[in-house]
Structure formats: structure tokens, C-alpha cells
Amino acid sequence: MTKFVYTFGGKTAEGKADMKNLLGGKGANLAEMCLLGLPVPAGLTITTECCTAYYENGCQLPAGLMDEVWKGVANVEKIMGMKYDDAENPLLVSCRSGARSSMPGMMDTVLNIGLSSKTIPGMLKKTNNPRFVYDSYRRLIMMYADVVMEKSEGIEPADGKGIRKQLDDMLDAYKEEHGYKSDTDLTADDLQKLAEDFKRKVKEVLGTEFPDDAKAQMEGGIKAVFKSWNGKKAVSYRKIEGIPDDWGTAVNVQAMVFGNMGDTSATGVAFTRNPATGDNQFYGEWLINAQGEDVVAGIRTPNPLNDDTKNEQNKHMHSMQELMPETYKELCEIRTILEKNYHDMLDIEFTIQDGKLYMLQCRVGKRTGVAALTMAMDMLKEGLIDESEVVMRISPAQLDELLHPILDSSDEKKHEVLAKGLPAGPGGAVGVIALTSEKAKEYQAAGIKNILVREETNPEDVEGMRAADGILTARGGMTSHAALVARGWGKCCIVGCDAVKIEMERTSVSTNEYGKKKVNVEEIGTVTIGGKVFHEGDLLSLNGSKGWVYDEEVKMINATENPLFQQFMKLVDKFRKMGVRTNADNPEDAQKAIDFGAEGIGLFRIEHMFYGENSEVPLEKLRNMILADTLEARKAALAELEPYVRESAKGTLKVMDGKPLTFRLMDPPLHEFVPQTEEKQREVAKARGLDFEKLHARIEGMHEVNPMMGLRGVRLGIIYPEITEMQFRALFSATVELMKEGFHPQLEIMVPLTINAAELKHQKALANRVKEEVEAKYGTKFNYKFGTMIEIPRAALVANQIAEVAEFFSFGTNDLTQMTFGFSRDDVNAIVKTYVDEKIIPADPFNNFDRECVGELVKIGIERGRATRPELKCGVCGEHGGDPTAAEFFYKNGMTYVSCSPFRVPVARLAAAQAAIKEAREK
């Protein structure tokens, strides 16, 4: 028979810390603390496997479980010197949940189990403290009715009608009636009377009696904890945290110790180091004469644990260090023992019963990004952990947090979230609403922080996006234009926020004041967010890491200027084996990426020179090229465009001197660059002396039903070879000119959206001819690498043939995901959301790399490519290049490098290092 019950207590235990999967975090750590000889009330842990069996069994406890439990209880009785359900010397227990990975407050707990008309007299005699006994009893009734009799029975009362709330209201009413201010004013008689009233209320509301039988209470408690694994809160928390539904929770049944036995009793919660700053100070809170729930539930304001925990708000309150110096000293010793054993910062719960200290819980504590960094570097110095462990200690998300100014999470809690969208660009932003790019630029020029709010963004918005401090769009997904660009700039951005509705119309002009600055506000429209109407100039705060929008000012904090960060990144590179490049297409971003440690550029999108600052002239030339209706006219326009492409390439090649730079030939459908509205088309026609009807017809003629699968990528270069030729000439000339100036350009060119080797051969033939021409013109020979993107499933499958022409592969996982799923990158957001909610797919594949199929194609692509060309260099330049959860997959499958936006570079370096460390540890 499977063993479902593991006991602990009296300095021994059947479990230990590394048995979390079976015993849950709490159970495993209680066992470990016993093995460390710490004072832990004895108890038993019912395994997570039992929880799974319970659910498989149609919510029935497995046969024989209760016998095993009673055997375990006998062990507890022996250690504690008390007996469960005994009239003379009764033992009371708590029943608590404990999943593999902690889900704070998401599941249920029942305390004081075992109090009944049979055991109460014994308790009274034993403690000689009726107030305490009846206080414990009324707490048991409240918790048991709430957790076991209501929640676990699936009763869903209307808001405010839950049994817990009704009993709480009775307690408040009783206090008010008697003129009591605090719970501690209630006398033993009051509490005894309240307990009887509570029981009547429970019967009245729930239709069943509160069980006056200790044995029944025990079984009810255990079942209720199992049930709470599938409670609403727990289910949504698991979804957010990505915790699998089939893990199940363990149940810990543990002898009660009481912090509410009077003024020599207390309870507290502490962190072995400061979880916000990482400082090496014991940090915590405690309450005299209270039970644990009083501290966490915020019913009473807790006192500071010690001098280090005192602040402006609580400095007048007494600390444990002052009031119970001996016990505090003992707790400090435990702190040291625990840190030495776990080599980490721990979050602990303790209770003092009549002067004696007990440990009720310890677990590795949650911490901010700054704290994680500070602690890891400190612990390295203290010899608690080694260098590889330091690298493992900071999660990619925590590192990301360090790179962006963020909303202050403690201040954030004080405000209500107005709307939620997709967290496309991390960090935080606070500013006034700008509804157009022009307005965003105007605000920026006036030094006013602003948030660009748009239906969606298009290339014409780029300057406004640059000028804005944050971006909020109603539509779009994680790889939408706004998201991509914003992430590249490290800009806070929320996309796909359904609650945003924009209405544009011109109305009045007024003057508004921001601090001391006055600006004219032209009412050009309004935006409704979550039912509230806002105007330009109204304030919003964005949490781009979570996708949350506020309509109030939330405080910002900046965590970047930490010298520890530099030291940490040095350690990271010591362990990293996979390369990290960046996606950048201008000198500034390239420089930023180098500063963040990029080793090259993995993707320079040539078409980006036609967006944003200084793009007017080249865009004009590009349009001439697109709108040309003869080959001659097109060639003439291309000749005028070429110098701009050359100069743009030179600028970034210079910054990247000596480092590889992969240019990608122009990729998007050309119609993206021509004016779409009739108004704009008329403007262009007029400016160029063209016939509007003809121009309009030409643009209409370019219209495609499925532009993502139409004339784009390499197809452009095959239909219009002169476009590719111009790009080759510009890039080759840029390279030779720089060589002549003494630079060391490392040119790489790749062809997008390839489906077979023939396409590449076609383009390579052009390249060969242009190369000869350029070499002849400048009288200098040069080298470059010719490669391709792999972003269509077919290309991955014929990678062996493609590698005969391509010297390197770069996996465009954005398109590869689009083409594998048949999900349009630009439109599929709402569908994906429903798919994820309905569990049809586990996550948005544009955001979370799909290892199963897109990954399989990547694997096949690398394997087949290298079968032909063993030294083939392979990189990823889709957005997944910056996805830390995908890094391990890429590393394990032999990727040479990942390439991501500049601000993701440190995160990618960290993820790559962690993948290498994990592999070494597995070996």
C-alpha cells in the first residue's frame, strides 16, 4: 500500500527538505527543521499523492487513510504528552495546506481542531485560562464553518453573505453593543456566549450543526484542505504562476501551540534578511497574545520584531528584542542555523507559548529584484553560496526589473487597477494622455511625461512612441509593432487592452496646467477606459511588466544604478556558453546593446530606416520606387535610395566595429509604405504632380487579401531583383568604404522568408555579380557571409538543401510561429486569449515559445542544416530570442546565439548562463 502519512517531531522526521514534491513545501521544511533540532510542534504530513488520489477517487479519501492518520496522531500524542479527543488532557491540532511551490494565502487552514464539549472542560482545567479556551473555540467555529462547511461544500454565497463574514459581523456587533474597542476586551463569558451564538447561526445559515466530535472535525479538516486545492483563488493563482493543476497539495496536521495564552505568549512572521532591499538584517513583525492569522490578516497592526525593523510608523511600538530579549536571542540563533542549512533567505513563522518558542514554518522567502541581487552577492562573500549559485539566484524577471524604472509596488497596492492589457514592454510609466504622435512630441518638447494612447500603432507613430514615456493600445499582441518597438527601446508598453475605446474628433482648445507648465490642449478626441472618459492631458500610470493601467499617479522607483549589477553580469558571462546578440537598426540602439553586453547584431531590419526620425527623405525615395510603373523609373528611384541605405548601414557598422552585423534584406509588404487614406494619397499626388486617380489605382492594385503571406520577404527580391541588387550594392559599398577608413566591418546578409534553396541561389547569383562590381569599383576585395532566415516550416524541413547555399541560419520564430499555427501575428490576439482561457493551448505562442512544434521545427532545421554544413552558425532573432524560458531549449539544441532587443540582452545573457549551469548540474 502507498504510504500517505509522514510524521515529524521531537528532533526526528520521516521527511526532509528535498521531499517537497511529495510533502509540499511546508511539510518538507517542517521535517527539515525537526532534523536540525529546532523546536517544532510534532505533527504529520499527508502527501500530495494522497490529494491526487482523493481527486481521482471522486473526492473520497483513499481507503485506510484515516487509520494511517490516527497512527500518526498517536506519535504526535507521545511526543507532545497529550491525547487527541481526551477529556482530561486534550491535544488540539491545526490542519494546513502546503503545495510543492508556495501559494501564499490561496488555500485554506483550520486551527484549534479538537475542541468539543468533551474536551473543553479538560482544556479549562489544564490551562486555567477560560478566556483563552473560549477564544480558541470561537475561532475554530468561524474557520471550520467557513472552510469545511461552506467553501469545501461548494456553497457560493452572495457577496457579503458568506458565513465567515456573518460571524465576523456578529462579533463586531457584540463588541459595539458592549462598548469594546478591541478583540482583547472580550471576556471569557463574552466569548463563551459568542461561541454558542455562532453555532446557532451556523446551523441557521448552513443547515447543519457544527460537529461536536473531535474525530469528525479532523476528517472534515483534511478533506477541506484537499478541496481548497480547487478553490477559486487557488485555481486562478496557479494559472498566473503556471503551476500545474495535477500537483495537488499536501495536508499538515500539527499539534497546536498558542500565541494567544496571555502576555507571555506571542506570534510572529520574519524574514532572515530584508526582502525589499536585501540588507542583511533580521526583519519581521510580531504580536503579543495573538494567533498567526492576526498578523497576516492585518486585523491588528503588528509590532516591529527588532530595532532594524522599526520605521516612522511603528517606532513607538515595543519590539520583541525589547520585551522578550532571551527568546529573541534564541530566534536569532535559529535564523543563523536556518540560513546556514538552506544557504538562502528564509521566511519564517513562529509562536511563543507561555515563554517557549516554537517554529511553525520556514520557506525560501520571496524578494524583489534588488534584494535578490544584493543577497546573492552578499552570500557569495559570506561563503554561503558559490558563483554558479549566485547566477542561479536571480530570475530573469528579477533582472528585468532592475533594468527598467518601475512602479513602486507598495504604492501600487494603494490604487485600484482600472484596466488590464498585455504586458508588452516592461517597466512603469506615469504621464498624461497623448492621443496622437504629434501631441506626444509636443509634450516631450515641453518636458511633460506622457502616455501615447492609440487604437493600434503603425509606422507613422514611431516618433510619437519615441517621445512617449509609455504606450497603451487597444489592439495588438505581444509581437505587434508597438510591442516590438517599445521593447526595443526599453519602453513601458501595454497592448491589446480591450477596455480602451478611442473616439477622435476635433473640438475646443483650452489651456491646462501641469505643475508650473502651461500648454494648449486641443480637444481632438476622448478615450474611454473601463467605462471612464479621459481627455488628452489626463493622467495615467502603466505597469508594463504586468499590463495594468491606473488612472492615478503611482510612485516610480529606479533600480538600475547598482554597481552590484555589473559585478553580477561578469559572473554570468563566466558560465555562459551560448552567444547573445541584439536586434538593432540604428547606431544608438546598437551602442546601448553593446553597453548591455551584446556580442553582435543578429537582426538589422533594413526597412526600419523608413520609420521615425530623419526618415522623410528616404521614405519619399522608397515611395517613388514603389509607385514607379516602369523598370526604368524604378531603377532611377532605387539609385536615389541607395546612398541612404549605404549611409544607414555605415552608421551602425561603425558602432559595431569588429563585431558581426546581420542585415536582413527588406521584408515587409511594400504597400505598408504607401499612403493608405484618400486624403494622404491626394496630398502625395499633388506634391508630385501625379494624377490622383492613377496613383490611387496603383496603390489599390497592390492590395493583397493576405499580405503576411503575399509579396514580402525574398519574394520581393525575386519579383523585383533590382530591389535586392540595390541593397547588396549599398551594403557592400558601406563595407568597403569603412575598410578603407580603417574599420573592421563584419558583414552578414540574410534573406527573409525563404522556402527553398532555389530562392537563395537566385539571390546569391545577384550578390556575386554585385560583389564583383563593387570590388572592381573600389579596387578592394572583401568578405561577407550569406545566410538565410528560417521562418517558414518548409524551410526547416529542407534545411539540408538550403545549407548548401546559406552559410548561416537565423530562425525567425515570429513568422515561424505564425506559419506553424496559422495564427496571424497581427490579428489573433482575441482568439489566443480565449484559447488560453479554455486551455486549448497552454499559452500565447508568440510570447511563450512553443517547444512542442515550433521547437521541433527549429530542432529539425538545425540538425538538417548541420548535416550538410557541420559548422553552420544558427541563431534566433524572433522575439523568443529574448524569452528566458526558451533559452534552455535553444541552448540544448545547439543554437550558436540568441538575438533580442537591447534591453533584453542582460536577461538573455543570464538565461543562457543558467541553461549552461543547469546542464552541468544535471551531468
Nearest partner of 498 among 523, 521, 522, 472, judged by Cα: 472
* Residue from the set 527, 603, 656, 730 that interacts with ligand PEP by CB under 6 A: 603
* Residue 757 beta carbon to ligand PEP: minimum distance, rounded to whole angstroms: 20
Q: Which is nearer to ligand PEP, 264 or 848 (CB)?
A: 848
Which of the residues 493, 497, 874, 877 is marked catalytic? 877
Q: Are 25 and 101 in contact (CB under 8 A)?
A: yes
Q: Are 278 and 372 in contact (CB under 8 A)?
A: yes
Partner residues linked to 503 by β-bridges:
526
* Residue 255 beta carbon to ligand PEP: minimum distance, rounded to whole angstroms: 58
Residue 481 designated active-site: yes
Residue 857 binds ligand PEP (CB under 6 A): no
* Residue 812 beta carbon to ligand PEP: minimum distance, rounded to whole angstroms: 3
Euclidean distance between CA atoms 268 and 276, whole angstroms:
18
Number of residues that bind Mg ion (CB under 5 A): 3
Residues 6+ apart with CB under 8 A from 225: 95, 96, 97, 107, 108, 109, 110, 249, 251
Give SS3 for 472: strand
Residues 769-798 that bind Mg ion (CB under 5 A): 791
| 878 contact choice in ligand PEP, Mg ion, none (CB below 5 to 8 Å, kind-dependent) | ligand PEP
The three three-digit cell numbers of residue 755, written as one number: 522556402
Residues 645-704 that bind ligand PEP (CB under 6 A): 667
* Residue 858 beta carbon to ligand PEP: minimum distance, rounded to whole angstroms: 11
The gap from C-alpha 387 to its chain's centroid, in whole angstroms, comes to 25
| 895 contact choice in ligand PEP, Mg ion, none (CB below 5 to 8 Å, kind-dependent) | none
* Residue 595 beta carbon to ligand PEP: minimum distance, rounded to whole angstroms: 23
Q: Which is nearer to Mg ion, 451 or 819 (CB)?
A: 819
Residues 6+ apart with CB under 8 A from 42: 7, 8, 9, 10, 75, 76, 79, 80, 254, 255
Pick the piece of the chain touching ligand PEP (CB under 6 A) from 609-617, 755-763, 795-803, 810-818: 810-818
**207-232 burial code (b ≥16 CB/10 A, e <16):** eeebbeebeebbbbbbbbbbbbbbbe
Partner residues linked to 271 by β-bridges:
283, 347
Q: Which is nearer to ligand PEP, 68 or 667 (CB)?
A: 667
Euclidean distance between CA atoms 549 and 100, whole angstroms:
32
Burial of 2 per CB tally in 10 Å (0-12, 13-18, 19+): exposed
* Residue 879 beta carbon to ligand PEP: minimum distance, rounded to whole angstroms: 7
Q: Which is nearer to ligand PEP, 150 or 667 (CB)?
A: 667
Residue 813 binds ligand PEP (CB under 6 A): yes
* Residue from the set 82, 877, 895, 900 that interacts with ligand PEP by CB under 6 A: 877
| 725 contact choice in Mg ion, ligand PEP, none (CB below 5 to 8 Å, kind-dependent) | none
Residue 59 designated active-site: no
In residues, how long is the chain? 923
Euclidean distance between CA atoms 786 and 760, whole angstroms:
9
Pick the piece of the chain touching ligand PEP (CB under 6 A) from 48-56, 361-369, 525-533, 807-815: 807-815
Residue 412 binds ligand PEP (CB under 6 A): no
Residue 459 binds ligand PEP (CB under 6 A): no
Which of the residues 50, 404, 481, 608 is marked catalytic? 481
* Residue 661 beta carbon to ligand PEP: minimum distance, rounded to whole angstroms: 15
Q: Which is nearer to ligand PEP, 426 or 602 (CB)?
A: 602
* Residue from the set 32, 737, 791, 888 that interacts with ligand PEP by CB under 6 A: 791
Lateral strand order in the sheet of 303-304: 303-304, 283-288, 266-271, 346-353, 356-364
* Residue from the set 75, 136, 814, 914 that interacts with ligand PEP by CB under 6 A: 814
User: If you write DSSP's letter for every residue of 67-124 in order, what string do you get?
Assistant: HHHHHHHHHHHHHHT-EET-SSSEE-EEEEEEESS--TTTS-EEEEET-STTTHHHHH
Nearest partner of 832 among 492, 496, 483, judged by Cα: 496
Q: Are 570 and 373 in contact (CB under 8 A)?
A: no
Pick the piece of the chain touching ligand PEP (CB under 6 A) from 51-59, 73-81, 126-134, 812-820: 812-820
Residue 815 binds Mg ion (CB under 5 A): yes
| 430 contact choice in Mg ion, ligand PEP, none (CB below 5 to 8 Å, kind-dependent) | none
Euclidean distance between CA atoms 586 and 35, whole angstroms:
59
Partner residues linked to 539 by β-bridges:
432
Residue 812 binds Mg ion (CB under 5 A): yes
Euclidean distance between CA atoms 492 and 429, whole angstroms:
6
Q: Which is nearer to Mg ion, 162 or 812 (CB)?
A: 812
What residues line the site for ligand PEP (CB under 6 A)?
603, 605, 667, 791, 812-815, 877-878
What residues line the site for Mg ion (CB under 5 A)?
791, 812, 815
- Which active-site residues does the annotation give? 481, 877
